[in-house]
Structure 1
Amino acid sequence: MAVPEIDVAVLRPLIVVVPVIAAGVLWLLVTDPRRRGAAVLALVWNLIGLAGVNAVAVSAGWWRFADGGPAVVGVPVDLLVAWAVAWSMIPVLGARWLPLPYSLVALVLVDVYGMSALAPAVVLRADWWWGELLAVSTCLVPGAVLAGLTVRRRALGVRVGMQVLLFTAVLFAAIPVLGRAAGQRGPVARWADPAPVHVGGTLDSVAIQIGGLIAVIALAAVIEFYRAGGTPWPWDPPDHLVTTGPYAYVANPMQLCGTLLIVVTAVVTAQPLLLVAAGVAAAFSSGMAAWVEADALGGRFGREWTAYRGQVRDWIPRWRPAAVTAPARVYLARGCDPCSDLAAWIVRRSPVGLAVCAAEDHPADLRRIRYESAAPEFSCDGVRAVGEVLARVNLAWAVVGWVIATPGISRVLQLLVDACGGGPRDLPAGRNEDGHTPSMNEVAQ
């Protein structure tokens, strides 16, 4: 006798309730804030990734979903949430008792042998395993790797890079897609029903260029977190208070840039509803997020935090960097005419917290302009060093500095400078005719 199919109205709530309850129980049992934060990070990764994978799978015909309930890019929201929770919160929180690799193998086996049992909520085609392979390789495994590295504080560069990729997807994929879905389906937001996206024209070109500049500033803020030994994720912060880079001008550069990027996206995609999302993001950052941040950072850094916040505002940047920014030094050859000219230009602009020193006095054998910061300990040469110097002059020059110091851009610019005769060179003697070796201040004057 054939086994009758389970009613979708009964099956779908079970698919959602079981992993959500399991994750809730584990959340209560696991009180480690860092592991909880890693689980939430993996959840966001899987929500974004699985939405994209399922959209591809439905389009390719690997599987399809039963009609009913709200959906995003053709994927039912309830099933998407359940899938993401099962692939993130449960294995990451459960890793306290069961090693993460074992959980991942178990989840893959559950999918392989259990997906067909979800009919008619999910109907599979014979080659559905292509979609499963894509989901495992882009969602399950990377999310678990990110969470595991976050818990153990390993591979900082990998963690930062994956977070940048994730937040980029949130800003430029998830939020626009959700805004479009709300504009098309939401009864309150039908006034914002967007037209088909068409990028082009002067306004879009200007908006995209502004967005690129804002993204560079946001990346500069992330790089400052990386140098301090942490990431932008609240549960994976640096060990030191970050007061350099964009943080020398405004207290919340990433939140500010994120909000502005949503506004730019609203302009380019012609989605007025995204302006509401930008307002919500700004309100959240100004309210609850700021309150939590002030409590946490004030408790960790005490007077250092109080002195810093006494000089920078939440959303309105300063023109000159705050005086509490960590001190640094720049080394230029006093016997090199272009270097001495640059040293004079720097000194005239009175950079904040920056000492201009002679490269001849450096203990190492320098062949390029060198920038060194003690807190956090960091050094760079050439074009990147110039970018770091400009960030200590004023806001306008800082933006230029962050652009030219951006990874990739700085490399290309350095190649161009080297090709034009500004490559590395041995230090000149730097003595006058009377044998006197001038100081850097004398050269600058």
Structure 2
Amino acid sequence: MNMNSVLRVFKSKRYSSPALRQFSMSSTRYDNHSCKFLVIGGGTAGCAISSKISNSYGSDGVIVLEPNNLHYYQPLFTLIGAGIKKLDSSHKEMKSVLPKKAKWIKDSVAVFEPEANKVTSNEGHTINYEYMIISTGLQLNFNAIPGLEEALNDDDSKVCSIYSPKYVTKTWTSMKDLNGGNLIFTYPNSPVKCPGAPQKIMYLAEDYFRNVSNRNDVNITYNSSLGVIFGVKKYADALWKIVKKRDINVNLRRNLIEVKPDTSEAVFQNLDNLDEKFTVKYDLLHVTPPMGPSKALLNAKSVTNASGFVEVNKSTMQHVKFPNIFALGDCTDSPNSKTAAAAAAQSCVVEKNLKSLLNKKSLDAVYDGYASCPLVTSRNRCVLAEFDYSLNPMETFPFNQAKERLSMYIMKKDAMPLLYWNVMTKGYWNGPEIMRKIFNPFKFN
């Protein structure tokens, strides 16, 4: 058989052998996709809104771009870090959580082209859309603090963080193994998802040493970059009483800038006097890492502000420049607290305003900045903070929620995870507004 015959045989078989396909000039197949609704991100906000849209508009119209195989219920990480819950209870397969009627592309966005109504993924695929909803959340920037990743990845170091599934179980291990010394908890100089979590794990650690170990052998300090212990005065007043009663040191406007694992030292900077730095020895250091938008958003100047957050109308959640783009969750510049409860309330507003836009009606659904933070203060008590844009309390129940209560702890520990997996991720939870209306006539403080 001559060479021409050999080539004809190869062509007729279309190089069907896997071994032959390895010799292709390009091993990547670039696909073009089109959809009516493109949801960027399959986390809490992305899953909620994609489920709502799928429920309303049926199948084949929604694409979700999400790179991860697992979907985590992150509010549970605080309890995992305190040894109350197991890591396995905090996640499910992404394919089982995303709506069945939506098409899932397991990839992440690389380039936004809003002028052309398309995005390009990291693997080179192009997705054209009619409407886009951005819900990419916040990125954890552990590498922004010198020495932090080295310390976190060293099993022998007493540096931990509840903010990542990679490190959350180390928090409980470090706590159990500690015999005494300095326990330091930090809050970074950046936006933070669940801003109450850095305090929650601190209160749970203090509770552990007070009731299980020897509290007199540990010194607990909370170093926060903020100027207040909590943004809402009603709850801040309650928290100041708790830290004073439980002998917890609180330093405001102190930001962690370096970790020295070899010497077990943490370096802090005074944000009111940047030349002033403090080096402190630690026996356990819990770090809340700096956080920020994804790299793709940082590069998407036409859809974000100077800090990389998606620019939206804070009431309608519609983009300020592109009317066919909405955003929700932690990636927006909406000045609300970044919590799962906020994402739930925003998802309802986005869904209603999308329908109005499709029907050429005015966007009347309004997000009032509602956010909720169940501040766990012990293994059987919780302060349930709820508030709006103006940092005014928006309490659901007919009692003073600034008080530590067992009922609120049970709700946080057992009821909220069930609500999340069975109602919110399926697009049926819009927040407790209906409950608030029912209880409001009987409410007292």
Higher strand fraction: Structure 1 or Structure 2?
A: 2
Which interval holds the TM-score relative to the shorter structure? under 0.3
The structure in which a higher percent of residues are helix is: 1
Higher relative contact order (CA 8 A, sep 6+): 2
Give the TM-score normalised by the residue count of structure 2. Answer: 0.23
